[in-house]
Structure 1
Amino acid sequence: MCENFGVNPMRKVMFGDGKSRFSTVDGKPIFHFMNTSTFADYTVVDSACVVKLRPEPRLSLKNLTLLSCGVSTGIGGAWNTANVQAGSSVAIFGLGAVGLAVAEGARARGASKIIGVDINPEKFIRAQEMGITDFINPRDEEKPVHEIISEMTEGGVHYSFECTGNLDVLRESFLSTHEGWGLTVMLGIHASPKLLPLHPMEFFNGRRIVGSVFGDFKGKSQLPHLATECIHKDVKLENFITHELPFEEINKAFDLLITGKSLRCLLHL
């Protein structure tokens, strides 16, 4: 995430070749390529991609950067896609920013048991602050994770969330839900060309699986409401920004992310 408070007005200029280009009012060109604006001072986007948020007393611009992706995906997965109910049980596979956002969303909805699954034991301390009630490290267990979760929850959880992008983990997540009504929400990005590790007949046990993009939020109409909900439901956005660094230390920021020591690092230009 980048933070840049400077806003300069821009203008559209017509050139002799008949093409228009954008520049700041003082004539400096604004370059944009396929709407990619990472680390850019200025960008040009379609009005449909711009969301206006009213200033909220407890949401700084720093926290609002989290709502463009990542945290919104996890919270939306719990609120919109799964519609987690009070008193229900939840299993979350992968406790990165998205997984912990699921935990925040489930906690805000009143879930009674939120099981976190991750191979990094250091994540449990932070996860407890965000609603995780139980922690499983697959490397410490002899049984498959879904069997352990079944024993902990008398047959399986109501909702499971796969946030790793790993097909083997996806299968464990699916099998950790209760037969008859369990729902698995797939939030991880699966780069592998392999197909789902599920047999069609396994769905006849009543378990379901669904994918979710951006937590099923409609950005234009629902992001302003999400910002307000983050206050009223006491979603702790500030816990997701674990580091802040100058842009010159971007490589350090990536190292923190890769080693699992950072959830989100805010880069200051």
Structure 2
Amino acid sequence: MIEDFVVFDFETARGKNPCSLGMVEYKNGKKYREFYELINPEVAYFNPFAIQIHGITYEDVQHERNFSELWDAMLPFIEGKTLVAHNAKFDNAVLLYSLQRYGIDVPPYASFCTLQRARRLVALPSYKLSSLANFFEVPQLRHHNALEDAFVCGELFLKLNRVEEELKLQEEHGMDFPSDYLDWIAEKQGQNVQIRRKALAGCSQLLSGLRFVISGNFQHFSRIEMQKIIVQNGGRITGSVSGLTNYLVCGSQAGNSKLSKAKLNGTKLISENQLLEILIDF
């Protein structure tokens, strides 16, 4: 089981041009040290979609150091280390592009991807970092903050390590190795499948005349699926909270502006599970 590793996460201005980097090093399965820096990508144009995701603008980083100026501080976290990322293909591409851009030699390192590993080990409707964090009950405060995402990914990597290790032991020893942890995983996977099947198949007028706004990330469904469930049960989806909104359905990382407007307008806040309780025997 790998217990010494470094998790890294880039946020980018556009393409492979990094504007922030978070790294968390683990030793013996425990958080050891961390690194976080804003990075001047030396490009003036930031993709508006990227800004919407991570909130970093050109003005935030125009006076920060560029990648090459930060490299000496980054190197101890990378050289000879086992690097872990969620969708490692992307983060490795950003790293290699930046090294090539500034003429820096690529240091030796090993790479693991929690996205690929999760797809191999557990059956879930979504493998987004936020969805996996919800499933494995890893707390997350600021999704798409590079340091926070690196920490969440590190905790997820440890949990996937445990799943893989106990699966191997169970394959070797069969029922001589009962695992409460694997039983818990199997039960949660079964609950996800059953809940999804019931909710997506449902069609009623239970939500007729009600207006909903959706915000955040959800455990069982994507936001598109949440919209579908509400509409096929008679509800109406709107993009912003107003005095006409009946419910704001909140997942993790719900938008602060929508929460503030809901409070101002007296809109009722409900969770994903509370909505499902209305629609199915949950």
Fold match by TM threshold 0.5: no
Bigger proportion of residues as helix: 2
- Structure with higher RCO (Cα < 8 A, 6+ apart): 1
**Under a length normalisation based on structure 1, what TM-score does the superposition of the two structures give?**
0.28
**Under a length normalisation based on structure 2, what TM-score does the superposition of the two structures give?**
0.27
